Amino acid sequence: MRLEKWFISNLDDSQRKIITQNIEDSLIVKGAAGSGKTNLAIHRARLAQGKGTYAIVIFTIALKRMVSYGMKALGLDHERIAYDWAWNHRGFDLTGDVYCELTGGAIDRDVLYLVNDNKVRKFKRTREKSSTSYGIDFGDWVAERFYCAFGRRTSWFDVVSEIGYLDVTNEERFVLIPSGTMYKQAESTIDYLIIDEAQDFNVSKYKENFLPKVGKSLSLFGDSAQQMNSQGSNIESIESALGYDTMSLNYNYRLPKSIAKVAQKISGANIDLMSNNRKDGGNSDYPNYPKPVVTEFSSEDQELEDIVNKIKMEDLDDVAILVPDEAAVIRVNEFLNKHEIQTQVHYRTGQVVPFRTINTLDFSNNDLPCILTYYAAKGSEFDNVFVPFANSANTASRNAFYVACTRASRQLFISYSGKKTSYLNDVNPKDIEMVDMTKQSQEATDW
């Protein structure tokens, strides 16, 4: 993912109108895929800087790194962001790996280190929790010695100092705590609260959780067509319940017209991604950009073999492979690794202990394909997007499939084996390139 391209620095009139709205006023912003909602949420936080406390809350954890990048680019505190679960249980997760210190082979319960690139923060246990104390938690199941030493969200620390270096290779003295997470408590009241992916939270959540914590204003950014949480509320319902002024983002910058005309049919809703399409100044239809390719294969392994071949033979970079669930992430990752393609992934190894979360996402590295669920891909964009397993057995919602297909900023490859997903039924055959690889597979077998 090209973060420098994803993050907007030059704003259009509709975007500029939104960020110049008084930060003291609550508002709702609606915009289709590729209109810049997440970027505008970050710019909205910039308006709050210096006027009071602010925070951005998102629904999915994978989006956190991208938002953090944008906040840092604007000179904001890039740790003032929380995804839904962390917001409810912790506060603001700090970025970095957590190490504890060994004394005589035993864990020193009173000292922790947070290592993030060349920055090392040292924490010391405090006997009494205060509003400025930091906590420690674990993202997954953790070995008993770490759990006994620190517990989950029961031990509190203060920052002692920043130190220049920590010799993490000295395993006799420093030990990495797998999935260890240092976090800062959220204030009981936050002056300016900004919510991205607003459609994935429901009206009750706004009334019972968010609004009681808002000191001055609440800003919401969302798109009903991208709602993936079945417990969420569409933007129109939120607008009606809260009574805030609503503004719209008018233009689409991500999707070339060649993909936009297909995506708006996939959505199954009355969505117009073409009229105000400004991708490459509006010159992004076929043949300037390729049509989406929809390919039928005889098996899922053949779908993956085709992806491997395209990545290698066409030397593709900035690639995403988007799949319906984490089991598919694991399968695709193993397949690509077997074919000597390194990847970036985010998935949990299982639901039964001992399990762990594998997170190797580094959106700044365009050479390694990202393998994500539809859900985790929200807010992202990639030049080349593969959506395999698009068959009738795929139980993902229409909105989720729409989200996956609208991540592509240049090429979109959809594939299936068996019966094609019904979400493609309304697509005009003239707008896609249909390829049947089942005949070629049969001919190869016969030969």
Encode the chain (447 residues) as per-residue pLDDT tens digits.
676 666 666 788 888 899 889 999 999 999 999 899 999 999 999 999 999 999 999 998 888 888 988 898 889 999 999 999 999 999 999 989 999 999 999 999 999 999 987 899 999 999 899 999 999 999 888 889 999 999 999 999 999 998 888 999 999 999 999 889 999 999 999 999 999 999 999 999 999 999 999 999 999 999 999 999 999 999 999 999 999 999 999 898 999 999 999 999 999 888 899 999 999 999 999 999 999 999 999 999 999 999 999 999 999 999 999 999 999 999 999 999 999 999 999 888 877 766 778 888 887 788 999 999 999 999 899 999 999 999 999 999 999 999 999 999 999 999 999 999 999 999 999 999 999 999 775 554 444
Tell if the pTM clears 0.85, that is, is over it: yes
d(CA 65, CA 138): 18
Q: Which 8-state DSSP code applies to residue 163?
A: E
Contact 284, 277 (CB under 8 A): yes
The pLDDT of residue 205 is 96
> Looking at the DSSP assignment, which residues form a beta bridge with residue 346?
359
Q: What does DSSP say about strands 433-436 and 293-297: parallel, antiparallel, or unpaired?
A: parallel
Contact 221, 229 (CB under 8 A): no
Q: Which domains does the chain have, with CATH numbers?
A: 3-91+188-249 (3.40.50.300), 94-185 (no CATH), 257-436 (3.40.50.300)
Nearest-10 crossing angle of helices 300-313, 326-338: 50
d(CA 76, CA 67): 11
d(CA 274, CA 255): 9
List Cβ<8 Å contacts ≥24 apart for 343-352.
343/368, 343/369, 343/370, 343/371, 344/368, 344/369, 344/370, 344/371, 345/370, 345/371, 345/372, 346/61, 346/62, 346/372, 346/376, 347/373, 348/140
Type and span of the H or E element at 43: helix 37-48
Please tell me whether residue 291 adopts helix, strand or coil conformation.
coil
d(CA 400, CA 229): 9
